Amino acid sequence: MIRPSRRQVLLAGLGLGASAALAACSGDASATRPAAAFPPPEPVPPLSGQSVMSARLTARPVTLDLGGRTVQTWAYGDAAPGPTLRANAGDLLRVTLDNQLPADTTVHWHGVRLGQQADGVPGLTQDPVRTGESFLYEFTAPDPGTYFFHPHVGTQLDRGLYAPLIIEDPAEPGDYDLEWVVVLDDWIDGTGTTPEEVLEQLVADGASGTGGMDHGAMAGMHHGSMSVGLGEAPWGADTGDVTYPHYLINGKLPSDPPVLQARAGQRVRLRIISAASDTIFAVALGGHRMTLTHTDGWPLTPVQTDALYIGMGERYDAVVALEPGVFPLVARPVGKSTGGQGLAVIRTGTGSVPAADVTLSELGGRVLAGSQLEPDDAVRLPAKRPDVTEALRLGGSMAPYLWTINGAAYGQNEPLRVAAGQRLRLNAVNMTMMPHPLHLHGHTFALPNGLRKDTLLMAPMESVSLDLDADNPGDWLVHCHNIYHAEAGMMIDLRYS
Ligand code: C2O
Ligand code: CU
């Protein structure tokens, strides 16, 4: 087979020894930092007139029925996705995490511009929450939008530990009759392996040089023939490292899909969240066009499309006017040849349930990607020259299994610097042949066209400048939201006070 290496690393001379690489792969952020004990978070009393939304989350081992297939996994409460949390923009959220897992954990409120003491990064913003302990997350959620939450420890996101967080805009009229939250996931936990074992295997294959070769048959590894050839534009031939046996929508397999009911003619707002760890999806609703209205919580100049791409950690809101009948909502994994697809069924009338492997013509045409969207003018950053510019070079390899930012794995790379009040420009360059969803904690960035996002799917070899205002002092992560890449080093700190 003419395929010299599965991943072409275009950044030569990372200057990293294998031992440093392996150390960086060995665990969560705290493994590469001096053990720092964080004081308990400062209590956050509500401001006068501020409403409080309180909730309790129990992270625990569970047995889940995915719809004909039962798995042992970890989840919040007794389902995956866990309970949807809702509040109004400006509310104070008080969420107690109860850790009943046999492992340390934390909760990260993905995309929320919160105070850093609630950001949930062990070793950076808090100590990990030990088995049997609890932790109170208190923060104001300033911006309306579609968010989710998940642990920031190891590869726990690739278990069932994720749930939606919806921040409503009391001022938004909302031109729709009802809304559905649609959570996409790639699933492997409890199918004979765990995400921790998958990562160990990737690291072991990388160390022995077998990583990325088209031989061997390690469970969970990606050897798909799909990765030979040009792949799917614009994401390239190699979109992920893990072969998943299943893809889920709202925790269910396509053999027993979730059914969303409404009346024909109703307008529905879809809040689509990707909780996937290593999979890009192309999403479409059969027989309908969607009007995209928001991404990562931020309003767009609305645009109609048949289909959209969603990377790990991204969110898209779309409004759809429902036709009469029964329609498949499909999440097709991009560049992965096994495991089928994600399916939900939308029912407004009579009709037969679509087959699990239904092919949508909507997915055969133009599929929109986040970077092609235009912002609503109201959310543009005020025009300003950047005060500071920093490079953000994404690099990596399969052998060794090592992913880097600015030439080194997390813990060995230099934190990005800015001062409070400055405009920072990140010149992000994907120097690899894989796509990476780049995620920033505690802020949103603006693309050159003004589009605001907190997670941007970057195509192979793509460059983009991302501007942000340093208005939330603290210690923050910037990282790839492919959880295996993040764990293998593709993270960097952004620190300022
Ligand atoms: Cu959803 Cu640091 O991530
Ligand atoms: Cu990545």
**Per-residue pLDDT tens for 37-85?**
899 999 999 999 999 999 999 999 999 999 999 999 999 999 999 999 9
Distance 437 CA to ligand 2 centre (A): 6
CATH number 2.60.40.420 is the correct assignment for the domain at 3-17+378-496: yes
Tokens, residue 104: 């340390």
Question: Tens digit of pLDDT for each residue in 306-361?
Answer: 999 999 999 999 999 999 999 999 999 999 999 999 999 999 999 999 999 999 99
Listed residue (432, 414, 397) closest to 18, CA to CA: 397
Which of ligand 1's atoms lies nearest the C-alpha of 148?
A: 1
Q: How far is the CA of 392 from the centre of ligand 1 (A)?
A: 17
Strand-pairing partners, residue 443, are none
Distance 48 CA to ligand 1 centre (A): 31
Nearest ligand, CA of residue 241?
2
Ligand 1 pocket check for 315: Cβ under 6 Å: no
On whether the CB atoms of residues 74 and 157 are closer than 8 A, the answer is no
Query: Is the CB of 152 within 6 Å of ligand 1?
Result: yes
Nearest CA to ligand 1 atom 1: 110
Q: CA-to-CA distance for 404 and 430, rounded, in angstroms?
A: 11
Closest atom, ligand 1, to C-alpha of 477: 2
Return d(Cα 340, Cα 357) in angstroms, integer: 7
b/e string for 331-360 if b means 16 or more Cβ within 10 A? bbbbbbeebbbbbbbbbbeeeeebeeeeeb
For the chain, the distance separating the N- and C-terminal CA atoms, rounded to the nearest angstrom, is 53
Ligand 1 centroid to residue 352 C-alpha, Å: 39
pLDDT at site 37: 87
CA of 435 to the centre of ligand 2 (A): 7
Which ligand sits closest to the CA of 488?
A: 2
Tell me, in angstroms, the distance from the centre of ligand 1 to residue 493's CA.
13
Q: DSSP strand E in 115-249: where?
A: 134-140, 145-150, 163-168, 178-187, 246-249
Give the atom of ligand 1 at the shortest distance from the alpha carbon of 313. Answer: 1
User: The whole model's pTM is what?
Assistant: 0.91
Is residue 315 within 8 A of residue 340, CB to CB? The reply is: no
> How many angstroms does the Cα of residue 441 sit away from the middle of ligand 1?
7
Kindly list the protein residues that place their beta carbon closer than 5 angstroms to ligand 2, a single-atom ion.
Answer: 436, 480, 482, 485
* Residue 365 CA to ligand 1 centre (angstroms): 31
Nearest CA to ligand 1 atom 3: 110
**What's the Cα-to-Cα distance from 375 to each of 110, 115, 456, rounded to whole Å?**
20, 26, 14
Instruction: Find the helix or strand (DSSP H, E) in which 299 lies.
Output: strand 298-305
Would the CB of 438 count as within 6 Å of ligand 1? no
Distance between CA atoms of residues 63 and 73, nearest Å:
6
23-172, CATH topology level: Immunoglobulin-like (2.60.40)
Q: What DSSP element (H or E) covers 18?
A: helix 18-25
Q: Is the link from the previous residue into 81 a cis peptide, with omega within 30 of 0?
A: yes
Cβ–ligand 1 distance for 441 under 6 Å, the answer: yes
What does the pLDDT look like over 197-235, one tens digit per residue? Answer: 999 999 999 999 765 533 333 334 443 333 445 678 899
pLDDT beneath 70: ranges in the chain: 1-36, 210-230
- Ligand nearest the Cα atom of residue 459: 2
Identify the three-state secondary structure at position 206: helix
Q: From start to end of 176-229, where are the E strands?
A: 178-187
Count other C-beta atoms under 10 Å from residue 450's C-beta: 16
Q: Which atom of ligand 1 is nearest to the CA of 110?
A: 1
Residues with Cβ within 8 Å of 385's Cβ and at least 6 positions away in sequence, in order, are: 423
Q: Which ligand is nearest to the CA of 312?
A: 1
Residue tagged 């030990």 (tokens):
130
Q: Which residue in 310, 340, 384 sits closest to 246, CA to CA?
A: 340
Helix or strand (DSSP H, E) at 95: strand 92-99
Burial of 188 (0-12, 13-18, 19+ CB in 10 A): buried
Element containing residue 204 per DSSP (H, E): helix 195-208
The alpha carbon of 495 and the centre of ligand 1 are apart by a number of angstroms equal to 16
Is 110 touching ligand 1 by the criterion CB < 6 Å?
yes
Query: What are residue 140's phi and psi, to 5 degrees?
Result: -90, 135
Determine if ligand 1 sits within 6 Å of the CB of residue 485: no
pLDDT on residue 491: 98
**Which atom, in ligand 1's list, is nearest to the CA of 121?**
2
Q: Where are the domains of the chain?
A: 3-17+378-496, 23-172, 184-189+222-376
3-state secondary structure of 5: coil
CA 96 to chain CA centroid, nearest Å: 22
For the CA of 482, the nearest ligand = 2
CB 248 within 8 A of CB 342: yes
CA dist list (Å): 454 to 112, 364, 482: 9, 28, 14
Domain 184-189+222-376, architecture per CATH: Sandwich (2.60)
Does any ligand 1 atom lie closer than 6 A to the CB of residue 111? no
The ligand that comes nearest to the alpha carbon of residue 315 is 1
Residue 334, φ and ψ in degrees, nearest 5: -90, 125
